[in-house]
Amino acid sequence: MTPSSREPGAVIVVGSLHYDIMVDAPDRPRKGETVAGYRWRPKFGGKGGNQAVAAARGGAVTRMVGAVGADDFGTFLLNGLDAAGVDRSHVGVLENTPSGMSVAISDDEGDYGAVIVSGSNLKIPEAALDAEGLWRDARVLLLQNETGEEINIAAARRAHAAGVLVCLNAAPARPLGPELVDLIDALIVNGVEAEMLSGIVVDTIEDALQAAVDLRRRHRNVVVTAGGAGVAAALEDRSISVPAVPVEVVSTHGAGDTFVGVFGAALAGGSSFDDAINQANKAAAAHVGGAKANDAQRATRAGSA
């Protein structure tokens, strides 16, 4: 399945929502080490939520399927979706189950490490996938690995039945079952995930292309984002590489989700894979150059909504 020239359609995101606690520090602690940080702030997050917001900001009608707890974190996350213009009528609010959350530490070089606690994200009700109107005019489904493989398979099955392109952002990396692999139209991974799935260390754009070609043996289309090295893709009929957009790095946190969301929005709008990759590459670079200021601004808006 490839992008079509039909009228622009909707992006459906089935995935995670996390209340992120962002910590700015000079470095990330080693085992047993305590590091004094500069500041912390709350942030709307979760790969599913971030990608839905990016898709909506990329111009696509975007519908989110997920789950939050009946708690303050859940309220914050629902407000964040509302503020971004994402249809969250298919996001369940679960009693006696805490919302997902994470703690992410961003260092002086702009890199980060994070720990997630999935909570409600592991209990997304499959019945939500059959809600009236969910698949109306849908063109692209975005999935990630912060939810269970069962819900991803269930969503991908319905997407294929509806003629919807299935994109899996395999983050965090984990082995993928054959049924899910058969349902994926485009696999999107970063350099670390590409290494974990292919065994090829990704340091350069040439490495990224090699990893994409290797993964292409098991997947229809593969996109490998390699940070400052650029983006490589092994598609059904060709391979391409796109250099990174030069930018002063502020923070890389959320850049991958921005890429995936804009990529999905572009495909839903009728763009080719090549054009979608270029649009997503530019959007991710802009995010890297202004991520901290944007995060603070969005967290304030979501918290006061």
> Which one of 20, 71, 185, 257 is the catalytic residue?
257
Closest CA relative to residue 81, chosen from 8, 19, 9, 170: 19
Cα 6 from chain centre: 25
* Distance, CA of 126 to CA of 175 (rounded, Å): 22
With the C-alpha atoms ordered 8, 9, 14, 17, is the resulting torsion angle positive or negative? positive
Contacts of 151 (CB under 8 A, 6+ apart): 14, 124, 126, 129
Residue 130 annotated as catalytic: no
* Distance, CA of 172 to CA of 237 (rounded, Å): 28
Structure tokens at 131: 């809600």
Burial 275-286 (b: 16+ CB within 10 A, else e): ebbbbbbebbbb
Sheet containing strand 186-190, strands side by side: 87-94, 62-69, 10-14, 138-144, 165-169, 186-190, 222-225, 231-234, 239-242
Closest CA relative to residue 253, chosen from 296, 292, 299: 292
Q: Which residues are designated catalytic?
A: 257
